[in-house]
Structures are given as structure tokens and as C-alpha cells.
A and B are shown apart, each in its own frame.
Chain A
């Protein structure tokens, strides 16, 4: 049972990401959207990438590009159609906003 977590805010100003991470399991996917793109440089994400590599972190390509955010290779960039597909391939979806 995999859940898609859509995160939309910067973890530097909101604890949505922290609350989200408290509930994820390794088969889940987290998608960074809107200002959550800034989270690529947040300690919580760095920690997840290092300690929980099975957890998929993905980011909306255009949202990161608009904000001039450099995305590391360990985070997959996606398009909106991919987000739609992810919604359908995961059993549940939660938006953290």
C-alpha cells in the first residue's frame, strides 16, 4: 500500500514536511511542488536521501526551474502528467499544504 505525499511548502517556514516524514513508509513517494522545491536543501531531505534511499523523492521540474533550484541526481524531476500518473499508481494521496 503506497501513499503519494504532495508537499507544497518550504520546510524552512512550515513544519508540513516534518509531519509528512513522520508518517511515511518506504514504499511511499514524496513529490515536491511549489515552494516545497526549496526543500531539496533542507536537512530533513538531506537526511532522508542519506538514510532512507528507498523512499522516492521527486520534484516538479518546472517549479524547481522557475525558482532556479539545482536538483541533485538522487531526486527525480517530473512533469505534471507524471504527477497525475503517480496519483493513479499510488493507492492513497495526501496533500501537505
Chain B
């Protein structure tokens, strides 16, 4: 059932950004999401290109109307609203992960690109380094 992705015709112009961050964990029970966000913001503030990727349970970080303060957890997700301020513009979400979890694509941030596995994979390779949290 696994079909191979193929990357065809990558752009002629090298638009390699420095870092791709894959977010793979749900938001509140662990600090992976916040740790990842801290890295994203530091790269943004140093004006280094960084893109965010959400795959697997990582897509839970995007659901709208979450409020971790109800469970005494600081709501770091609110900081996602500041992405534009940090020049973090490219946010890619694994479509299959969203569908598997029966989530709506009404996320709490805009300008998010829902991608097929093939395109998600291709976008990752447009970055010099990839870290996964």
C-alpha cells in the first residue's frame, strides 16, 4: 500500500531555507511543541528562513479553540499568531494526518498549506536542515 513519492523537477532557482521543523507531537502533555516553537522563533528573529511542518499527532497543535489554561498549562499555541511577525510564513500540514484524526481544517492560524505526503516530502527537501520534535 505504500506508494513511493517521487520528487519531480525541483525548482531551478535555489530557494533553500535554512531549517524545516517537523512537529510530530500533540500540544500539552509534553513540551516538545513549545521546545519546537522556541527554535522556530529564534531562527525567525535571526532572520533565518524557517518553515514549520506538522505531521502525525503534531497536527493537534493546530486545532482551533484550544485552551490549555483550563488544565493549568500555559497556552503556548497563542504564540502561533505571531508567526508573521517573525517572518514564519510557510506552514505545511500533512493532509493524511488531519484526515486520519477526523479533524476539520479550520485551524487557529491561517495560511496553512495542507499537503499530500508527496508534496510534504518535497517541501522538506527545500530546506538545508531538518529537525523533528
B-contacting residues of A (Cβ < 8 Å)? 1, 3, 15-16, 19, 21-26, 44, 47-48, 51-52, 55, 91-97
Contacts and interface: CB of A to CB of B under 8 A. Distances in A.
B85 to A, nearest CB: 28
A47 to B, nearest CB: 6
Most B C-beta atoms less than 10 A away, residue of A3, A23, A91, A96: A23
A19 B56 contact: yes
A1 B124 contact: no
Nearest to B53: A23
B96 interface: yes
A34 B56 CA distance: 22
B4 A52 contact: yes
The secondary structure that dominates the B interface is mixed
B96 to A, nearest CB: 7
Contacts of A24: 4-5, 121
Interface of B: 1-2, 4-7, 10, 22, 24, 55-56, 94, 96, 117, 120-121, 124-125, 127, 129-130, 132
B130 A25 contact: no
A91 B7 CA distance: 14
The secondary structure that dominates the A interface is mixed
Given A1-B7, A26-B4, A47-B2, A95 B132 contact: yes
Contacts of A51: 2
A23 B7 contact: no
Nearest to B56: A19
A55 B5 CA distance: 12
Nearest to B58: A19
Given A19-B55, A23-B124, A92-B129, 15 more contacts: A1-B125, A22-B2, A22-B120, A22-B121, A23-B120, A24-B4, A25-B4, A26-B6, A47-B1, A47-B2, A51-B2, A92-B124, A92-B125, A94-B22, A96-B132
